[in-house]
A = this chain, B = another copy of it.
Amino acid sequence: MTALAAIVARDLRLALRQGGGAGIALGFFLTVLVLIPLGIGPDVALLARIAPGTLWIALLLSVLLSADRIFEPDHDDGSLEIMTLGPVPLELIVLAKAAAHWLATALPMAVAAPFFGLLLNLDPALFLPLGLAMLLASLALSLLASLVAAVTVGLKRGGLLLSILTLPLYVPALIFGVAASAGDETLSGSRPAALLILLALVLLALAIAPFAGAAALRAHLR
């Protein structure tokens, strides 16, 4: 137990030391949000309409960009090898790393997203549902991110490769996330269902990511 706590604590401290931890994630989130109006024009109605989708895409991309640091450093400096000598199985280590990533990156963004939505004049009625959905989804995203990070660890030029492998995994989370924070009234009925499915996705990711991730790490180490 202390072993896992130690990993989480260390990763959080490192995230904090190396460029402001959560701050940097939020910064990226903001920069992406700024790009969108610049790209598709300042039409307010249009922006408001696509606001939730935009926030979701920005969230996925931010998680993505931070993903390749989940295992890469530990792999490069040999820490990963030593971790296999520890009292806890690799599966739990993957879980701990995912937790650290969630706390340092995904969670802050999920919490901040609705407020950033203001920039895209997001309908205030959507604050709560959006925040809730993102909170749930971010869990799944971090888990899947660490799964793929484990698969691509040590492959230099991972950035793009990692994205190609991750985004298809993100599709369901994205779809139901958007549904759970859907704007127009006709759909708001389906929100609870979407939330439940999101929850199911989280549990599924929780069931798969640690094992697949650990298997991948073992394959890379041998």
State A38–B19 Cα separation when bound (angstroms): 32
**Chain B proximity mask over A31-69: 1 for CB below 8 Å, otherwise 0:** 110111011110000100110111011001110111011
- Chain B nearest CB from A59 CB (Å) reads 10
Contacts of A62 in B (CB 8 A): 160
From B41, B54, B69, contact of A40 by CB (8 A):
B54
Contacts of A50 in B (CB 8 A): 39-40, 46, 50
From B38, B46, B160, B178, contact of A175 by CB (8 A):
B38
Contacts of A76 in B (CB 8 A): 76
In the complex, identify which listed stretch (A20-28, A86-94, A111-119, A190-198) lies at the interface while the others stay far away. Answer: A20-28
- Chain B nearest CB from A62 CB (Å) reads 7
From DSSP, what is the main secondary structure of chain A's interface residues? helix
Assess the A31–B157 pair: CB atoms within 8 A: no
Q: Is A205 at the interface (CB under 8 A from chain B)?
A: no
Spell out A's residues near B (CB within 8 Å). Answer: 14-15, 18-19, 24-25, 27-28, 31-32, 34-36, 38-41, 46, 49-50, 52-54, 56-57, 60-62, 64-66, 68-69, 73, 76, 155-157, 159-161, 163-164, 167-168, 170-171, 174-175, 178
26 CB-based A-B contacts, threshold 8 Å: A14-B157, A18-B156, A19-B160, A19-B161, A24-B157, A24-B160, A24-B161, A28-B163, A31-B168, A32-B163, A35-B167, A38-B178, A39-B56, A40-B49, A40-B54, A46-B50, A65-B159, A66-B157, A66-B159, A66-B160, A68-B159, A69-B156, A69-B157, A69-B159, A73-B156, A159-B159
- Apart from A24-B160, A36-B57, A65-B160, list 17 A-B contacts with CB within 8 A: A18-B155, A18-B157, A19-B161, A24-B161, A27-B160, A28-B160, A31-B167, A34-B171, A35-B174, A38-B174, A39-B54, A40-B49, A40-B54, A41-B53, A46-B46, A50-B50, A65-B159
